[in-house]
Structure 1
Amino acid sequence: MTNSIIEKSPLFELRADIGISATPEQVYAVVSDLPRSAEWSPECKGGEWVSGEPSTVGAIFRGENLRAEEVVAWAPLIRGTWYTEARITAAEPGRTFRWMMLTHAREDQESIWGFDIAADGAGSVLTHHFRMGKATAGIHKIVADLDEAGREKFIIEWGAKLEQDLAVTLGLIKNIIEKQ
């Protein structure tokens, strides 16, 4: 795959922001509670902490995920339920919460999700971000049998799906927090 779009780094670097009528500490209390992610994530249906002190750096979260058939329907993606593990890499109450996706052997991948929170008047601005430096083993598996045009199409469509997921997630989190 020399000179392939899959070799680009970062492969994805996305972010979205939303204003929330709550303090940074109130926002952090929600977004750092990953078992609640079923309330706001388009794919993660919750999960459990499998090692470490929950929501602290080094803790590992096992997420249960569900992907519908229509998501980038032409691509050879995992459909239905599957599981992932992630290690918390930053946990600063009221400021930032980040996690790195792990391989099945619990090795780090360059796939990092997170939230940053900033005070904004009487409320906060919540930023949700995703960065994939090098393509993960999963991405390589998805595109293995695609020609370069297919790989480019997948990366474009997957990037658009991820951007939509970030925005949907933020909207749902805002609703949850502001209705508390």
Structure 2
Amino acid sequence: MLGAKGHRELFAVHGEIEVRATPQHIYAVVSDLPASGRWSPECQGGEWISGTPGTVGAVFRGDNVRTADVVSWAPVVRGQWQTTAEVVRAAPGRTFAWAMRNSAGERQESVWSYEINAAPGGSLLVHRFRMGEPTEGIRGITADLDAEATERFFTQWTEKLRGDIDLTLARLKAFIEQSSEGR
């Protein structure tokens, strides 16, 4: 799959949902990465480890969990593990994005983002995941797979990502709309 600039994209997945809240309120929620365990099916939260929380350049350590049934045949990390990510875009009320880092602390082409647009009755919230060059983790997962198994993995992982994004958006909508500030 080729991206907008002609670069290969391993993953380019997104979902969107209307939320009865202001863009500013939605941004305050989605940029609070330590609270993400309330809506993410994989990230259970974590903490800011450097920089000013929620600003470009800030680094977040995420605490994650994955069950054995997720693409069960593939050699992916199971149970609990940690990641680090760096905020790469932070425009209050509009967009918030973070790039995953590798074990050497370098940014990878693995970016999660939220875009928020005003809409009648609230806002449209878009959640995206894009991966260009394979990350350290993807290279490890696919290292011993043949071409057919690699293609099968990418297909099933894309389905997993779509499901995670849809579930995250549904949980965010419920969380935001239940809060008195979001109304």
TM range (shorter): over 0.9
Pair 1:58 & 2:57 matched? yes
Alignment of 1:10-159 (within 5 A): 10-159=9-158
SS for the counterpart of 2:176 is helix
Q: 1:173 maps to what in 2?
A: 172
Pairwise CA RMSD of aligned residues?
0.8
Structure 2 unaligned runs (5+)?
1-6
Runs of 4+ in structure 1 displaced over 6 angstroms? Answer: none
Measured in 1, the distance between the counterparts of 2:63 and 2:136 equals: 19
After TM superposition, give the deviation of residue 30 of structure 1 in Å: 0.3
Measured in 2, the distance between the counterparts of 1:146 and 1:26 equals: 44
After TM superposition, give the deviation of residue 122 of structure 1 in Å: 2.6
Per-residue deviation, residues 108-129 of structure 1 (Å, max 9, x unmatched): 1000001000000130000000
SS for the counterpart of 2:150 is helix
After TM superposition, give the deviation of residue 50 of structure 1 in Å: 0.1
Measured in 1, the distance between the counterparts of 2:140 and 2:30 equals: 30
After TM superposition, give the deviation of residue 9 of structure 1 in Å: 1.4
SS for the counterpart of 2:163 is helix
Per-residue deviation, residues 85-123 of structure 1 (Å, max 9, x unmatched): 000001111000000000111101000001000000130
SS for the counterpart of 1:156 is helix
Letter in 1 for 2:107: D
- Give the structure-2-normalised TM-score: 0.93
- Give the structure-1-normalised TM-score: 0.95
SS for the counterpart of 2:153 is helix
Letter in 2 for 1:110: E
Letter in 2 for 1:18: I
Letter in 2 for 1:39: R
Measured in 2, the distance between the counterparts of 1:9 and 1:48 equals: 32
Measured in 2, the distance between the counterparts of 1:33 and 1:108 equals: 20
% identical aligned pairs:
51
After TM superposition, give the deviation of residue 75 of structure 1 in Å: 0.3
Measured in 1, the distance between the counterparts of 2:176 and 2:136 equals: 35
SS for the counterpart of 2:57 is coil
